[in-house]
Amino acid sequence: MELDLLKPQIDQIIADTERTPDQKMEAICELLQTSVAHYDWVGFYFKNGDKNELKLRAFAGEPTDHTIIPFGKGICGQVAVSNENFVVPDVAAQDNYIACSINVKAEVVIPLFVNGENIGQIDIDSHTPDPFTEADERFLEYINKKVATLL
């Protein structure tokens, strides 16, 4: 799947006046998870009020027990404090990792900024080892910029 080919569909979801921001995020998760072969679980986490933790807001794929993640814990919690993309080619090589499913081999988490503040992130799990390239990072940054306009 050429990732850029999905951008018009992302733009269309963002512009849809019939859907709420939560419904738009769910539709984006669904589109990504069903269209990109190496995206097996796709979710958006956001800072939970004034707590130093992330809360799952929208996802597609298997339900996860990890709907709340403290800052600093796991790949997601680390990105909440580092403000940087985190590409994990092999989750088994990570000490600070929260396993959602034994099938997951790799993960990428990209922070989402509103007015320069890291308020959330998109998280992708893959059952394929080492599948993520810079094309994924640029594409997911594009999506986060679009989602930021909804918030």
Using CB under 6 A as the binding rule, whether residue 114 contacts ligand SME is answered as: no
What does the DSSP assignment read for 27-49?
A: HHHHHHHHH-TT--EEEEEEE-T
Could you tell me how many residues of this chain bind ligand SME (CB under 6 A)?
15
| Contacts for 63 with CB less than 8 Å, ≥ 6 apart | none
As measured in angstroms, the least distance from the Cβ of 96 to ligand SME is 7
With CB under 6 A as the contact rule, the residue among 29, 123, 136, 143 that binds ligand SME is: 123
Using CB under 6 A as the binding rule, whether residue 40 contacts ligand SME is answered as: no
Token digits of residue 149: 């306009």
User: Of 15-23, 29-37, 64-72, 131-139, which part binds ligand SME (CB under 6 A)?
Assistant: 64-72
User: Of 4-12, 29-37, 94-102, 139-147, which part binds ligand SME (CB under 6 A)?
Assistant: 94-102
Using CB under 6 A as the binding rule, the residues of this chain from 66 to 85 that contact ligand SME are: 66, 69, 74-77
With CB under 6 A as the contact rule, the residue among 9, 21, 48, 64 that binds ligand SME is: 64
SS3 call for 128: coil
Residue located via tokens 């988490």: 109
| Contacts for 151 with CB less than 8 Å, ≥ 6 apart | 21, 114, 119
- Nearest residue to 63 (alpha-carbon basis) of 142, 148, 12, 125: 125
Positions that interact with ligand SME (CB under 6 A):
41, 43, 64, 66, 69, 74-77, 97-98, 100, 107, 123, 125
